[in-house]
Amino acid sequence: MHWSEVWEGKGLGLRLIRLALTPLSWLYAGGWEAYASMYRLGIKNAACPHSPVVCIGNLLAGGSGKSPLCLYVAAVLCDLGREVVLSCSGYGAPHSESASLAPEGTLIASEWGDEVAMVRWLMPELPLIVGRNRVEAARICEQEMPHAIMLMDDGFQHLPLKKHVTILLDPPNSNKACLPAGPYREPRKNRSRADLVVPNGLRATFRVTGFCWPNGDAITIPANPRVNVLCALGNPARFIADLQGVGLLPDIKLILPDHDPLTGGNLLTCFNQEQPLVVTAKDWVKLRGRPGLDRFEIWIARQEAKIEPEAEFREWLERKLDELPIKSPSR
């Protein structure tokens, strides 16, 4: 049973599970508030080794689209003439332990993390600092790229580092409880720490815009094709719905937990080799070194994230950055 079923399920059994977990949620929320209060009261102070830091965060556990949105914001910042470096945690990978500047070229997902490898595949010119120690990441940014904006992927709960602009994703959700009875990483009232909460006038949109071959060439798909689908995402239901929305007919679906390494020996045996195998870029960077892929026709979904109305968001972001007492950005 996936945690999302526990948090969102309507059955009596699931409601009873949530009720039993509620005291633990109260303890979790209380522990978080005690931790956060140390920063609010000045007992602890957030470090500021680099400025500016722009954070893309969320309150919900699981996939809310932070990484695709980071790519979008990075593209917007570059279009505005700003130098950008992306800070990623490298979830589950060896390089996540501290922080380091990723080398140029292809990055292996098992060493650097699936989201890091995906970003490098999609935006090869974007510098990446990888690791959970975001204070150290900011120090590296200051040393190596002092005029860059450090864009943080998933840093809202990382209080030890000072953020100068915070964009928070908070999609509608009926269960407002904290973990483990609900999906919230911290009490929802703390969204007041953000400079911009989406949706709130502005809205985030996510959609599949097309498909490409592993070499990056675009695919012209036939009408209503039957396909296999393999994904290891935080929100697989949205991905399946997006595929159906562009006319694909998912037949065999293998849905694995978010960040699954996709190394299982029998991973591909359930699929019909006569049908295309549709994956996300995040999953493709884990599959691409796997033997036996030549038996399948691989379609990689091109996914697009935006904050709309786009012109209003761009104006807001540039104004927020210009208001900061920062070093002159390169243009």
pLDDT for res 330: 44
Counting Cα atoms < 13 Å in the Cβ hemisphere of 325 gives 1
Asked if 55 and 163 touch (Cβ cutoff 8 Å), the reply is yes
Domain membership of residue 228 as a residue range: 206-304
Handedness of CA 142, 143, 147, 150 (dihedral sign): negative
On whether residue 182 sits in a domain, the answer given is yes
The ranges of the chain with pLDDT < 50 are: 328-331
Entry pTM: 0.92
123, 141: one domain: yes
pLDDT for res 64: 72
The CATH number of whichever domain residue 120 belongs to comes to 3.40.50
On whether residue 35 sits in a domain, the answer given is no
pLDDT for res 188: 95
Supply the DSSP string of 24-55, one letter for each residue.
Answer: HHHHHHHHHHHHHHHHHTTSS--B-SSS-EEE
Residues 272-326 pLDDT 10s: 899 999 999 999 999 998 888 989 999 999 999 999 999 999 999 999 999 998 5
On whether residue 233 sits in a domain, the answer given is yes
A 10 A CB-CB count for 30 gives: 12
| 3-state secondary structure at position 290 | coil
On whether residue 19 sits in a domain, the answer given is no
Tokens linked to 1: 């049973």
Tokens linked to 69: 């949105």
A 10 A CB-CB count for 192 gives: 8
142, 267: one domain: no
116, 57: one domain: yes
List, in order, residues 6 or more apart from 88 with CB less than 8 Å away: 67, 113, 115, 116, 119, 128, 129, 130, 153, 154
Domains held by the chain: number = 2
On whether residue 115 sits in a domain, the answer given is yes
**Which DSSP letter does residue 218 get?**
B
57, 128: one domain: yes
243, 274: one domain: yes
How deeply is 249 buried, as exposed, middle or buried, from its count of CB atoms within 10 A (0-12, 13-18, 19+)?
A: exposed
171, 314: one domain: yes
pLDDT for res 232: 93
pLDDT for res 132: 96
Residues 194-211 pLDDT 10s: 999 999 999 999 999 999
243, 185: one domain: no
Tokens linked to 115: 């989201």
On whether residue 6 sits in a domain, the answer given is no
pLDDT for res 264: 85
**Residue in the structure block whose two tokens are 């996939």:** 63
243, 103: one domain: no
pLDDT for res 266: 87
Tokens linked to 131: 């690791």
On whether residue 284 sits in a domain, the answer given is yes
173, 318: one domain: yes
Q: Which amino acid is at 232?
A: A
102, 160: one domain: yes
173, 268: one domain: no
On whether residue 3 sits in a domain, the answer given is no
282, 315: one domain: no
